[in-house]
Amino acid sequence: MKRVGILVGREQTFPEALIRSIDERGEGRVTAEMIKIGGVRLDEPRRYDIIIDRISHEVPFYRAFMKRAALEGTYVINNPFWWSADDKFFNYALATKLGVAIPKTVLLPQHSYIEGIVTESLRNLEFPLDWQGIVDYVGMPAIMKPFDGGGWKNVERVNSLEELWFKYDQTGTLCMTLQEFINFDQFVRCYCIGQEEVMIMPYDPRKAYLSGEQYINDPNYLSPELSERVTNDVRTLCRALGYDINTVEFAIKDGTPYAIDFMNPAPDAEIVSVGEFYHNWVTEKVTDLVFKRLGQSADERPRYRWDAFLNPEGTLTTAVASATEQAARTIIPQPVREIPADIAAGVSELVAGAASAVSGIVEAVTEPKAQATKSTKRASTTSKSKTTTAKKAVAPKAKKATPGDITG
């Protein structure tokens, strides 16, 4: 009998529904249960064939357990190694390489630092920071949010340079991004299960959580053309990142879907939040994914190799050496060297031709869409004190942004 473990936080309805769904379809051959973990021994045998992880990003003990379970052959959803390394700023950079529209974004130095960071530790840090250049690039209003956060925590809308300074002063040791605010015409949150199944959900981030008004079931919310583009962008992002469960949020303006958040590997699926229709869809698709993975051999599943954490299945998202380089690296075994020169030349041409074809395919997949960007301003700098990134002035206290003011 195969076993599926569910690791959860505060949610109730989704894990309970998922366990029932897996047990019903498993018919005694597959069973699902909540995981119980105590002290984890180094030589502890494998307990589960699959683990669905919903909370280890907030509990380091769970994350360490997940990594060891993967080492013992358990398939973990989602990949705990990449999830540990991932951050939103990298995701934005990757998305631009993949041709997905991203708002203008700047990674900001931390305001404060942990004990032990001294002046010399920050000698590479620009000082004073070119705040005006940053604001000119991103524009106002803008959204400031943690580079690796989630759940709308510490997300602020800022409407001026002075308000940005005031909010930035309160971020402590958090590393933040400042992102162009997209005054959206439409907004969608998209589930992606198994890097293939996509559900586009009309979503209003201005409505209160659990108000019952955030999610709308409207299959005609987007035009067919826009729906196709959003679906393709969702799959492109989730396949590149290797997430089996994820959500991608788009702020849509003038027909362009801007991906503003796609690091959500434990997305909300509670019935009281997303509604019965979406709750049931996610439960069914995750159950399908579990049985698909259980039916795969070890060679067919994504692999946890140190050189493949970003993309275990190795889809074409990285550069490939040119045909000339590939041909130069090709080593012809000794017996081949002894065949007639004309045949050997034909083999070399075949190798070069194949390498050229592969390079063409990869370039077609990875060539980013051209986007016009503004030049950023830079100023030469010196280091500052051990605890703060300086600015030019301290702003007066600003009004706190409400949920209706923010996106992302």
Question: Residue 90 falls within a domain, yes or no?
Answer: yes
**Cα torsion 17, 21, 27, 29: sign:** negative
Q: How far apart are CA 223 and CA 254, in angstroms?
A: 13
Question: Residue 8 falls within a domain, yes or no?
Answer: yes
pLDDT confidence of residue 313: 57
Contacts of 46 (CB under 8 A, 6+ apart): 69, 72, 73, 74
Q: Does 12 share its domain with 60?
A: yes
End-to-end CA distance of the chain: 43
List, for residues 246-294, the tens digit of each pLDDT value.
999 999 999 999 999 999 999 999 999 999 999 999 999 999 999 999 9
Q: Does 308 share its domain with 390?
A: yes
Question: Residue 280 falls within a domain, yes or no?
Answer: no
Q: What is the pTM (predicted TM-score) of this model?
A: 0.74
pLDDT confidence of residue 208: 84
CATH number of the domain at 226, please: 3.30.470.20
pLDDT confidence of residue 29: 97
Q: Does 212 share its domain with 263?
A: yes
Whether 158 contacts 140, CB under 8 Å:
yes
Question: Residue 181 falls within a domain, yes or no?
Answer: yes
Question: Residue 155 falls within a domain, yes or no?
Answer: yes
CATH number of the domain at 71, please: 3.40.50.20
Q: Does 142 share its domain with 64?
A: no
Number of domains in the chain: 3
Residue type, 110: Q
Of the three residues 21, 54, 77, the one that is the final residue of a domain is: 77
Contacts of 290 (CB under 8 A, 6+ apart): 4, 22, 30, 32, 50, 52
Angle of the 224-241 helix axis to the 88-97 helix axis, nearest 10: 120
Of the three residues 50, 77, 104, the one that is the final residue of a domain is: 77
Strand partners, 103: none
In 134-149, which positions are buried (b, 16+ CB within 10 angstroms) versus exposed (e)? bbebbeebbbbbbbbb
Q: Does 390 share its domain with 362?
A: no
pLDDT confidence of residue 297: 82
pLDDT confidence of residue 195: 95
Q: Is 33 left (phi over 0), alpha (psi -120 to 50) or beta?
A: beta
**Within 10 A of 269 (CB to CB), how many other CB atoms are there?**
24
Q: Does 155 share its domain with 51?
A: no
Q: Which tokens belong to 142? A: 């803008």
Using alpha carbons only, what angle is made at residue 158 by residues 153 and 159, rounded to the nearest 5 degrees? 160
Only one residue has tokens 């809308």, namely 157
Cα 255 to chain centroid, rounded: 23
Of the three residues 22, 46, 77, the one that is the final residue of a domain is: 77
Question: Using the 8-state DSSP alphabet, how is residue 389 labeled?
Answer: -
Question: Residue 286 falls within a domain, yes or no?
Answer: no
Q: Does 99 share its domain with 178?
A: yes
Q: How far apart are CA 7 and CA 79, in angstroms?
A: 14
**Cα torsion 379, 381, 386, 392: sign:** negative
Cis geometry, peptide bond prior to residue 109 (ω within 30 degrees of 0): no
Q: Does 134 share its domain with 180?
A: yes
Low-confidence ranges of the chain (pLDDT < 50): 306-307, 314-341, 343-348, 350-408
Question: Using the 8-state DSSP alphabet, how is residue 75 labeled?
Answer: E
3-state secondary structure of 335: helix
Question: Which residue range(s) make up the domain with 117?
Answer: 85-274+301-313+374-408
Question: Residue 162 falls within a domain, yes or no?
Answer: yes
Residue type, 102: I
DSSP string spanning 179-193? Answer: EE----SEEEEEEEE
Question: Residue 318 falls within a domain, yes or no?
Answer: no
Q: How far apart are CA 112 and CA 156, in angstroms?
A: 18
Q: Does 12 share its domain with 69?
A: yes
**Within 10 A of 196 (CB to CB), how many other CB atoms are there?**
15
pLDDT confidence of residue 378: 35
Please list the helix, strand and coil fractions of the chain in percent, rounded to the nearest 5, in that order.
Answer: 35, 15, 50
Q: Does 6 share its domain with 133?
A: no
Q: Does 198 share its domain with 243?
A: yes
List, for residues 353-386, the tens digit of each pLDDT value.
444 443 443 344 334 443 333 333 333 333 344 3
In 281-318, which positions are buried (b, 16+ CB within 10 angstroms) versus exposed (e)? bbbbbbbbbbbebbeeeeeebbebeeebbbbbeeebbe
